[in-house]
Structure 1
Amino acid sequence: MKTLVFVSLVGLFLHDTTAEMHSLRYFFTASSEVPNFPEFVAVGMVDDIQGGYYDSNTKRAEPKQDWMNRVTEDKADYWEWETERAVYYQQLFKVRLDTFKRRFNQTGGVHIVQWMYDCEWDDETGDVNGHEQYGYDGEDFLALDMKTWTWVAAQQQAVAIKQKWDNNKADLEYLKNYLTEECVDWLKKYVDYGRSSLMRTDLPTVSLLQKTPSSRVTCHATGFYPNRAMMFWRKDGEELHEDVDKGEILPNHDGSFQISADLQLPSDDWGKYDCVFQLSGVKEDIVTKLDKREIKTNYVNPMNPVIPIIAIIAIIAALVLLGLAVIGYKKYRGRKSTCETSSENSSELAEKLNPEPT
């Protein structure tokens, strides 16, 4: 079964905003015969933070951030309205999924249609931008060119659909108005509602890690917020692209994020290398020099079985104390048994000397 991931072009739009750029993105996924997964899911993201959610099981749009409840200040029935829209898209995507399957001469089996649209707004320059695109079974399918306002087919099976949608001028005009105006208006409201959260910045703890002396050096940053961040290695001030493996931004249990980047061990002067962490909204980078003395590891050389003397003393002391405790306990039990026996014998003697009257 194909993994439920957004198509490759969608990934290009995540984590690329600056401190001044804001985005409102919607992701829709319709699927067939996927076990333990709703047939339709809709997710709304404000500055890459999930703001709302709907699926075909719950049949209800709901906020995912406390500040999204403020939207009812401007539109009291907002969540009912969002639910109605989601139900409409659910029905629409059921039809489009069947249409795409016919284009590929498919019937049953696991199939997935994904749709993403967004608008972006620079709160300093006022510039706006937008995107809209479709994916099918994990591959790019159709994308809207906002310069020519025509659809671009990524696969041969999408050509007929492209031609049909290009001829629908009314729909294209609606998309133009929505992506450049209506969507931006909503984005500005959401940013205002969640400003304290969306503009929050927490700096990370950055560490250099290494499993063994011959393995790659990992630069690891954790505890930062928001998730719009970058990490890379430099040599002599120039970003390295070879011998570097960049990891994805991952969530922590407390709502913060972490990221790492691995560097192949350099053969030349280590002092030429440093790790750079950049966080959206923070002007200064966090730069960590590659220094052997700063690398953390739990590696123990198998050829050097020497254990720190303190550890040896602690282990021996613990064993001695345990032995003494066992010996003491045995002596105590022995004395107790002797006392109990003596007590029983004394009782028997007393009964013989002072028999009860019959």
Structure 2
Amino acid sequence: MKNQMCLFFFLFLFCHISSAVKHSLKYYITASSGLQNVPECMYVLKADDVEVTHCDSTNKIFEQKQDWVVKLFNKDPQLLEGSRQDCFVRIPRLFKDVIYNLTQTLQSEGAIILQCIAGCELDETTGQFSGFVHYAYNGENFLRFDLHTHIWIALSPQASIIKQKWDRNTDRIQFIKDIINHFCPQWLKMGLEHGRSSLMRTDPPSVSLLQKTPSSAVNCHATGFYPDRALMFWSKDGEEIHEGVEHGEILPNHDGTFQMSVDLNVSSAEDWRRYHCVFQFEGAEDRIITELDGTLIRTNRVKPDNLTVPVIAAVVVVVLALVVMATAGGCMAHKKKKEAEDSTELPEATNLNTETNTAH
């Protein structure tokens, strides 16, 4: 039981505030048997979908993905060593036993992949705390632990046999209850204490309206926001709309922030003031609302009205340049002609002088 508690120590230690309302963490564990070139056990710890640690037990890899986690491990070497033992020894051993139990009970042959998602969540508004444990077997939903009834829920026909066996395992059930009711809140407080400054970072976006041509969709683009748990949509008269709307993916920027966009196809005959682009972090109440105002739309096209003055100016400059070039060319031609005439007349005059001198 003590080793099992150490096993989930790191799981419940780092919980990340996803918004002003909730802290959450998910542990993605994958164990396998009978597969070549695939680690027997590996996991990724994500705090609100942001990777915190990565473990590969076969290749002896344990990586910390966040600076504050590295600092915490440097401050507490025993915590680092315990987490490494979870990665290389305890978690692989636990899931190896589970896979063996499944193969014996289900009498299955061939390659096996067992996946587990375990985690916890705290709602700051209500103060309620909850956890979850969910298993998948060979790519299909298998078992889920019910936190209210404290029994396993079979999610497939073949899981029914395992459910009955695990429901009788009172030590396993008590262990999960202890994690949910006692250990998780304790490690949650510790995680918030050490990582609050970086985990609670929230950067609002810069929102722009873009449009390629007058007939194309209006693009509402938000960039520079953090974290990436955000929603953006178009509304009409205060109600979210879906028709004529196309959502883009959340993409990373080079500086660690994120960007996303949502397009709206709207007729030029409609009252654009009825439409608004809404950006909101998940779980937060505050919204950034941008009215669909034609004067705010940025575009790379040049309006016809704005072409008159630049074009006329350009034409005048070109014409003047041509006139100057033509005048200069004429002057140079005339000068060369004059020089040529002078050079031709000079020898003739010389000859006349010579003849005159000779005659005298």
- TM-score above 0.5: yes
1:345 corresponds to: none
1:22 corresponds to: 23
* Residue 141 (structure 2) pairs with residue 107 (structure 1): no
- 1:276 deviates by 0.7
CA distance in 1: counterparts of 2:104 and 2:273, whole angstroms = 57
1:244 corresponds to: 245
SS in 2 for 1:197: helix
Mean Cα deviation higher: 90-99 or 216-225: 90-99
Pairing of 1:208-357 with structure 2 (within 5 A): 208-265=209-266, 268-279=270-281, 284-298=286-300
CA distance in 1: counterparts of 2:259 and 2:72, whole angstroms = 30
CA distance in 1: counterparts of 2:181 and 2:212, whole angstroms = 50
Please say which structure displays the higher CA radius of gyration: 2
Q: Is residue 249–residue 259 contact of structure 1 (8 Å, CA) maintained in 2?
A: yes
Structure 1 pair 202–149 and aligned structure 2 pair: CA distance change class (3 A): same
Unaligned runs of 5+ in 2: 1-15, 326-360
Look up the equivalent residue of 2:141 and give its one-letter code. D
Structure 1 pair 222–185 and aligned structure 2 pair: CA distance change class (3 A): same
Mean Cα deviation higher: 189-198 or 97-106: 97-106
Structure 1 pair 35–73 and aligned structure 2 pair: CA distance change class (3 A): closer
Q: Is residue 198–residue 226 contact of structure 1 (8 Å, CA) maintained in 2?
A: no
- 1:17 deviates by 4.3
Percent sequence identity is 44
CA distance in 2: counterparts of 1:84 and 1:248, whole angstroms = 38
Unaligned runs of 5+ in 1: 1-14, 325-358
Q: Is residue 26–residue 42 contact of structure 1 (8 Å, CA) maintained in 2?
A: yes
Q: Is residue 19–residue 281 contact of structure 2 (8 Å, CA) maintained in 1?
A: no
1:65 corresponds to: 66
1:169 corresponds to: 170
Mean Cα deviation higher: 58-67 or 274-283: 274-283
CA distance in 2: counterparts of 1:256 and 1:104, whole angstroms = 49
CA distance in 1: counterparts of 2:247 and 2:204, whole angstroms = 19
Structure 1 pair 29–260 and aligned structure 2 pair: CA distance change class (3 A): farther
Output the TM-score relative to the length of structure 1. 0.69
Structure 1 pair 219–93 and aligned structure 2 pair: CA distance change class (3 A): farther
- 1:245 deviates by 3.5
1:131 corresponds to: 132
1:43 corresponds to: 44
CA distance in 2: counterparts of 1:307 and 1:90, whole angstroms = 74
SS in 2 for 1:77: helix
CA distance in 1: counterparts of 2:216 and 2:164, whole angstroms = 53
Output the TM-score relative to the length of structure 2. 0.69
- 1:49 deviates by 2.9
SS in 2 for 1:61: strand
Deviation per residue, 1:13-65 (Å, 9 max, x gap): xx994313211321112356888764432122234432222113542433211
Q: Is residue 16–residue 228 contact of structure 1 (8 Å, CA) maintained in 2?
A: no
Structure 1 pair 193–262 and aligned structure 2 pair: CA distance change class (3 A): same
2:95 corresponds to: 93
Pairing of 1:145-184 with structure 2 (within 5 A): 145-184=146-185
CA distance in 2: counterparts of 1:103 and 1:74, whole angstroms = 46
- 1:223 deviates by 0.9
Deviation per residue, 1:130-155 (Å, 9 max, x gap): 11112245443221111111122222
Look up the equivalent residue of 1:27 and give its one-letter code. Y
SS in 2 for 1:156: coil
Deviation per residue, 1:279-298 (Å, 9 max, x gap): 36975311111234433444
Q: Is residue 199–residue 281 contact of structure 1 (8 Å, CA) maintained in 2?
A: no
Pairing of 1:191-202 with structure 2 (within 5 A): 191-202=192-203
CA distance in 1: counterparts of 2:291 and 2:75, whole angstroms = 50
Instruction: Name the count of aligned residue pairs.
Output: 298
Look up the equivalent residue of 2:263 and give its one-letter code. D
Structure 1 pair 31–277 and aligned structure 2 pair: CA distance change class (3 A): farther
Look up the equivalent residue of 1:93 and give its one-letter code. F
CA distance in 2: counterparts of 1:241 and 1:75, whole angstroms = 51
CA distance in 2: counterparts of 1:207 and 1:104, whole angstroms = 59
CA distance in 1: counterparts of 2:223 and 2:272, whole angstroms = 24
Structure 1 pair 100–18 and aligned structure 2 pair: CA distance change class (3 A): farther
Structure 1 pair 47–74 and aligned structure 2 pair: CA distance change class (3 A): farther
CA distance in 2: counterparts of 1:238 and 1:189, whole angstroms = 41
CA distance in 2: counterparts of 1:36 and 1:158, whole angstroms = 28
